[in-house]
Chain A
């Protein structure tokens, strides 16, 4: 059962074009179903992944996503790491503010994605690229 999920084995996708964002969504959806996340939690995680994958492409200039099914003892979860070697985020507080955007979007991608997951961690600095780790647990 656990081998089906590839527990602990990260699945890596390159994010270099529009259709890669779709592939990230599809992989996350498949693993979220296999991990038995509720339908609402699946929807939230896939939506968050879509926002962050698009950010990796549009703001980071491309990068990658690593999706892993993790074991938290009594429950399983999904962890996704998005990383890019782009310009990084100089003012993180500002970037996490609803409605703030430098790309002409709605400014909800980063702040909204944070609300949709259980754990959200961001490692970035100007000129250092960006690495965002999100986790959603099955309830």
Chain B
């Protein structure tokens, strides 16, 4: 069985799917990614599907699962590079890819992750301030 390589670039894990995956390969990728998120502490995952000429319900479900798993592990997933014909087919198939962020290419995907991370740390600062305010109010 082939394995899809997972590359680490800075704070991001990049997966570029270049082969017509067997279902087992897709499942292995899901596990590999979960492991790599934990071992690297990366906060972003980009899955480049430029090389895929179809996304069926199995691969669609794998993409949704990866997004959910990485979210639980404090990482955000962006799927990039979907071909127009694939998008048209996915919608007609009835797959909505709920909860998956998408961008047109890897570069835009990285920007999206950077913005999401920045927004999240702003929220975090706000939470800290509120906590500080709360604790000073109670003697």
Q: Which residues of A contact B (CB under 8 A)?
A: 18-19, 21-22, 25-26, 29, 39-40, 42-44, 46-47, 50-51, 54, 98, 105-106, 108-109, 111-113, 115-116
The chain A residue with its CB closest to the CB of B26 is A18
Q: Which residues of B contact A (CB under 8 A)?
A: 20-24, 53-58, 60-61, 83-86, 88-89, 92-95
On whether A112 and B93 interact (CB within 8 A), knowing A43-B53, A50-B54, A54-B23, the answer reads: yes
Apart from the given pairs A21-B22, A44-B88, 8 other A-B contacts in the complex at a CB distance below 8 Å: A22-B22, A25-B54, A44-B89, A47-B56, A51-B93, A106-B61, A112-B93, A112-B95
The chain A residue with its CB closest to the CB of B85 is A43
* Bound CA–CA A115/B90 (angstroms): 11
* Bound CA–CA A47/B55 (angstroms): 7
A51 touching B53, Cβ below 8 Å: no
The interface residues of chain A, by DSSP majority, are classed as: helix
A-B contact count (CB 8 A): 72
On whether A40 and B89 interact (CB within 8 A), knowing A21-B22, A51-B57, the answer reads: yes
* Bound CA–CA A49/B88 (angstroms): 16
Which residues of B sit under 8 angstroms from A108, Cβ to Cβ? 57, 93-95
Which residues of A sit under 8 angstroms from B95, Cβ to Cβ? 106, 108, 112
CB distance from A108 to the nearest CB of B (A): 5
* Bound CA–CA A111/B92 (angstroms): 10
On whether A50 and B93 interact (CB within 8 A), knowing A19-B22, A40-B88, the answer reads: no
Which residues of A sit under 8 angstroms from B84, Cβ to Cβ? 40
Contact of B93 among A19, A39, A115 (CB under 8 A): A115
The chain A residue with its CB closest to the CB of B95 is A108
B22 touching A106, Cβ below 8 Å: no
B88 touching A106, Cβ below 8 Å: no
Which residues of B sit under 8 angstroms from A54, Cβ to Cβ? 23, 56, 58
* Bound CA–CA A56/B134 (angstroms): 60
* Bound CA–CA A22/B1 (angstroms): 12
12 A-B pairs with C-beta separation under 8 A: A18-B24, A25-B54, A40-B84, A40-B85, A43-B86, A44-B88, A50-B54, A50-B58, A106-B60, A108-B94, A111-B94, A115-B93
B23 touching A46, Cβ below 8 Å: no
Which residues of A sit under 8 angstroms from B58, Cβ to Cβ? 50, 54, 105
B89 touching A43, Cβ below 8 Å: yes
Which residues of A sit under 8 angstroms from B22, Cβ to Cβ? 18-19, 21-22
* Bound CA–CA A25/B24 (angstroms): 16
Which residues of B sit under 8 angstroms from A46, Cβ to Cβ? 53-54
On whether A18 and B53 interact (CB within 8 A), knowing A43-B85, A98-B94, the answer reads: no
